[in-house]
């Protein structure tokens, strides 16, 4: 430990050459799984944490399935840990660059555990010499400059006996130190093997240490393992074969748990047992050294993780001792339980609804959350495992209906608790999963919905051209499905993208196509909204005649619908265009009519906004006293009136007409924010 700490301040190659270190210092703790490398790294991080006031970030670079975690996912998690904005749908290069930028000027300590190689570590290294990275890997990180390695073998005899005593208890170890040394020799001094043997001794209080050493020698050689890994394999088998059949089955099925710690609900669903039985089994496994306990929050409950050095052996046991049908059934039970938990999590935000309260009351008590805050804490704490469960369900390919339900429930829970903006990065990945399922199962409507949602997130992140491509694909899928709603939604989104790009002609053309579809279907509310969109586009282009025609059509449709606020807004837009076109007297008359419509609607904020526009028009006409009267009346209305949900400025076109859900279904069309138009070169 002292040598590791000394390496932090030791002169590097750049300093010797007279250059400032361009990147952070990297300490490497290398060793086989089970050598205690992660425990040593955590101990080092605990000692150094006070020296890095900007905090400690942790990331595991190998998943529970033994596959390397994509760098994109790791960078996203580290950015979230820093509280930095995470752009939805960003690629690996953009995310790693954002991570390096976020770490500039900080003193942060990063622990990168179980790295498969330098290609995983190098993109995550900060360009900040005040940061420190502690990497844990099996071998050297060739390609990472100026890395300081520390290679672990086995523990020395004294330390190994002390570790064995900690788990087995002091009495038997003290009474038979020779046998304890024999156990250490059989375990090769490997900490993980010693923990398992210590747990076995603790579970068998009448067994001597000599019996443990003898049993280890009698176990058959662990074929298929390297010589250095055989002591751990024998110790694992010693602990595993001592389990009752039911407990051994639960342990095997934990290999199906998605990435992240497993809790009692996950274990209960996998094994088909009660939550209480699952809790008891998890506690027993932890006492035997087969699981590691994780920190838990007030509402999260105890969490346990399979040590990485044991994961491959559990997977091998699952493949050889469980029938494929049983494995699939266990996975389906786990996903179904997760869906129900997510429904309960989302419903906790809607307790004002009597129907929702009744449905919550019908759920088993362990699935309910006492407060929305408890549900949100559970969602945040279990989010890595929930996302991993969704990815596994989609990748499996045999549970597509359940996978879609899981993705939908997770999407709705994230939106309800975190909001669309904060949950954007996770939602992007979930919609991509829906797209994968839809393409595999040849479901054009679901494909269109996923493409529309992905396009919305791309557009929100400023990738308008990427969004435009997705909307065009969605239009093809919607037409293939013969779904008019998805088709009109796609047409409007394509138009909105062209509007965002400033291509007024194409925007008007696509809005007109969407309008024709609404006219064919006889949907007057959407017709009025699309007339308004067309009017706005023509206004931006400076085509006053076209703009007036469309806004008048919108106003007439709102009037037929008896929509007084919509009619008032449309009249306000007509007045705006008339003023741009050099018709101030007409604009004044239209503004007065808009004020009357807003007054009849009882919308004080809308009336105040129209009066402010009227005041601007009067000032341009050279009547400051009248303008002052209307401006004062607007201020009085704003001060006296309560804000209403439908309030808005007359300058805004009618809102999105497609009422979409927050799941992977079709969501509302996006209305890009375009600056206030100025008079253009084209007359009306």
Q: What is the pLDDT of residues 464-478, one digit of tens each?
A: 999 999 999 999 999
Question: Does some domain include residue 296?
Answer: yes
Give the pLDDT of residue 570.
94
CA distances in angstroms from 89 to 180, 384, 421, 447, 448, listed in the order given: 55, 17, 13, 17, 18
Q: Which of 82, 4, 78, 69 has the alpha carbon at shortest distance from 41?
A: 4
Residue with tokens 């359940």: 402
**Confidence check: pLDDT of 7 > 70:** no
**Can you give the pTM of this predicted structure?**
0.79
> Domain range for residue 172?
157-241
Minimum mean pLDDT range among 293-302, 436-445, 548-557, 672-681: 672-681
11 and 147 belong to one structural domain = yes
Question: Does some domain include residue 548?
Answer: no
Q: Which of 49, 289, 104, 304 has the alpha carbon at shortest distance from 191?
A: 289
**Confidence check: pLDDT of 40 > 70:** yes
167 and 146 belong to one structural domain = no
The token duo for 531 is 């007339």
Residue 230: pLDDT band with limits 50, 70, 90: confident
350 and 422 belong to one structural domain = yes
Give tens-digit pLDDT for 529-549.
999 999 999 999 999 999 999
**Confidence check: pLDDT of 658 > 60:** no
232 and 253 belong to one structural domain = no
Residue 3: pLDDT band with limits 50, 70, 90: low
Domain CATH number, residue 317: 1.10.10.10
- From CA 389, how far away is CA 331, in angstroms rounded? 9
Give the residue from 151, 179, 202 where a domain finishes: 151
End-to-end CA gap in the chain? 79
Question: Does some domain include residue 40?
Answer: yes
Question: Does some domain include residue 374?
Answer: yes
233 and 109 belong to one structural domain = no
Q: What is the enclosing helix (H) or strand (E) of 136?
A: strand 132-137
Question: Does some domain include residue 565?
Answer: no
Instruction: Report H helices in 187-323.
Output: 191-203, 209-218, 230-241, 245-253, 264-271, 275-287, 308-321
167 and 41 belong to one structural domain = no
**Confidence check: pLDDT of 338 > 80:** yes
Give the phi and the psi of residue 150 in degrees, each rounded to 5: -135, 110
The percent of residues above 70 in pLDDT, for the chain, comes to 89
The residue among 16 and 132 whose pLDDT is bigger is: 132
338 and 419 belong to one structural domain = yes
Give tens-digit pLDDT for 103-113.
999 999 999 99
68 and 145 belong to one structural domain = yes
The token duo for 340 is 């129900």
Give the residue from 241, 276, 298 where a domain finishes: 241
317 and 336 belong to one structural domain = no
Minimum mean pLDDT range among 149-153, 200-204, 652-656: 652-656
Count of domains forming the chain: 4
The DSSP string of 90-129 is: --HHHHHHHHHHHHTT---EEEEEEE-SHHHHGGG--S-T
Domain CATH number, residue 126: 3.40.50.300
136 and 6 belong to one structural domain = yes
Give the pLDDT of residue 650.
35
Question: Does some domain include residue 464?
Answer: no
Eight-class DSSP state of 21: -
Q: Which of 529, 601, 589 has the alpha carbon at shortest distance from 563?
A: 601
216 and 257 belong to one structural domain = no
311 and 349 belong to one structural domain = no
Give the residue from 213, 241, 269 where a domain finishes: 241
Question: Does some domain include residue 286?
Answer: yes
Q: Which of 382, 271, 322, 340 has the alpha carbon at shortest distance from 280?
A: 271
Question: Does some domain include residue 515?
Answer: no
């Amino acid at each position: 430990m002292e040598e590791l700490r000394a390496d932090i301040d030791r002169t590097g190659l750049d300093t010797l050459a007279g250059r400032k270190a361009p990147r952070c210092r990297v300490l490497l703790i290398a060793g086989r799984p089970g050598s205690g490398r992660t425990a040593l790294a955590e101990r080092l991080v605990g000692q150094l944490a006070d020296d890095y006031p900007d905090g400690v970030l942790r990331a595991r670079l190998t998943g529970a399935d033994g596959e390397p975690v994509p760098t994109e996912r790791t960078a996203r998690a580290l950015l979230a840990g820093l509280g930095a904005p995470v752009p939805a749908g960003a690629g690996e290069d953009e995310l790693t660059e954002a991570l390096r930028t976020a770490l500039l000027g900080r003193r942060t300590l990063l622990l990168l555990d179980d790295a498969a190689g330098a290609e995983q570590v190098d993109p995550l290294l900060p360009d900040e010499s005040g940061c420190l990275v502690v990497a844990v890997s099996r071998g050297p990180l060739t390609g990472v400059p100026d890395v300081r390695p520390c290679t672990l073998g086995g523990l020395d005899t004294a330390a190994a006996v002390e570790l064995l005593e900690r788990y087995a208890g002091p009495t038997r170890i003290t009474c038979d130190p020779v046998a304890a040394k024999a156990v250490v020799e059989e375990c090769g001094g490997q900490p993980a093997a010693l923990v398992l043997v210590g747990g076995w001794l603790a579970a068998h209080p009448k067994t001597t240490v000599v019996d443990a050493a003898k049993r280890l020698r009698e176990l058959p050689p662990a074929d298929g393992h390297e010589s250095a890994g055989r002591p751990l394999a024998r110790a694992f088998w010693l602990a595993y074969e001592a389990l009752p059949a039911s407990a051994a089955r639960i342990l095997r099925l934990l290999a199906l748990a998605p990435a992240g710690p497993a809790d009692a609900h996950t274990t209960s669903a996998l094994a088909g047992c009660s939550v209480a039985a699952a809790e008891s089994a998890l506690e027993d496994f932890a006492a035997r050294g087969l699981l590691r306990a994780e920190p838990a929050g007030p509402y999260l409950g105890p969490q346990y993780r399979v040590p990485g050095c044991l994961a491959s052996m559990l997977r091998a046991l699952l493949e050889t001792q469980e029938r494929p049908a049983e494995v699939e059934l266990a996975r389906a039970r786990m996903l179904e339980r997760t869906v129900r938990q997510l429904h309960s999590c989302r419903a906790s935000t809607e307790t004002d609804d009597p129907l929702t309260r009744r449905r919550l009351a019908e759920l088993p008590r362990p699935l309910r959350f006492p407060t929305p805050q408890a549900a949100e804490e559970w969602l945040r704490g279990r989010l890595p495992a929930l996302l991993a469960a969704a990815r596994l369900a989609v990748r499996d390919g045999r549970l597509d209906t359940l996978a879609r339900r899981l993705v939908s429930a997770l999407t709705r829970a994230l939106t309800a608790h975190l909001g669309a903006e904060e949950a954007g990065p996770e939602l992007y990945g979930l919609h991509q999963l829906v797209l994968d399922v839809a393409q595999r199962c040849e479901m054009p409507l679901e494909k269109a919905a996923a493409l529309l949602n992905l396009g919305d997130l791309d557009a929100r992140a400023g990738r308008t051209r990427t969004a435009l491509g997705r909307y065009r694909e969605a239009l093809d899928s919607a037409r293939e499905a013969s779904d008019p709603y998805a088709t009109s939604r796609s047409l409007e989104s394509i138009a909105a993208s062209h509007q965002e790009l400033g291509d007024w002609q194409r925007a008007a053309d696509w809005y007109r196509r969407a309008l024709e579809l609404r006219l064919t279907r006889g949907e007057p509310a959407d017709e009025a909204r699309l007339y308004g969109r067309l009017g706005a586009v023509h206004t931006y282009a400076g085509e006053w005649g076209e703009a007036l025609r469309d806004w008048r059509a919108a106003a007439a449709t709102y009037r037929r619908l008896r929509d007084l606020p919509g009619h008032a807004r449309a009249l306000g837009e007509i007045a705006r265009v008339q003023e741009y076109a050099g018709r101030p007297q007409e604009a004044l008359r239209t503004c007065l009519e808009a004020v009357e419509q807003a007054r009849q609607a009882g919308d004080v904020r809308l009336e105040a906004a129209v009066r402010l526009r009227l005041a601007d028009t009067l000032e341009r006409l050279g009547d400051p006293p009248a303008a002052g009267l209307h401006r004062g009346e607007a201020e009085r209305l704003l001060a006296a009136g309560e804000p209403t949900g439908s309030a808005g400025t007359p300058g805004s076109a009618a809102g999105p007409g497609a009422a979409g859900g927050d799941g992977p279904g079709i969501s509302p069309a996006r209305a890009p924010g375009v600056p206030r138009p100025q008079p253009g070169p084209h007359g009306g």
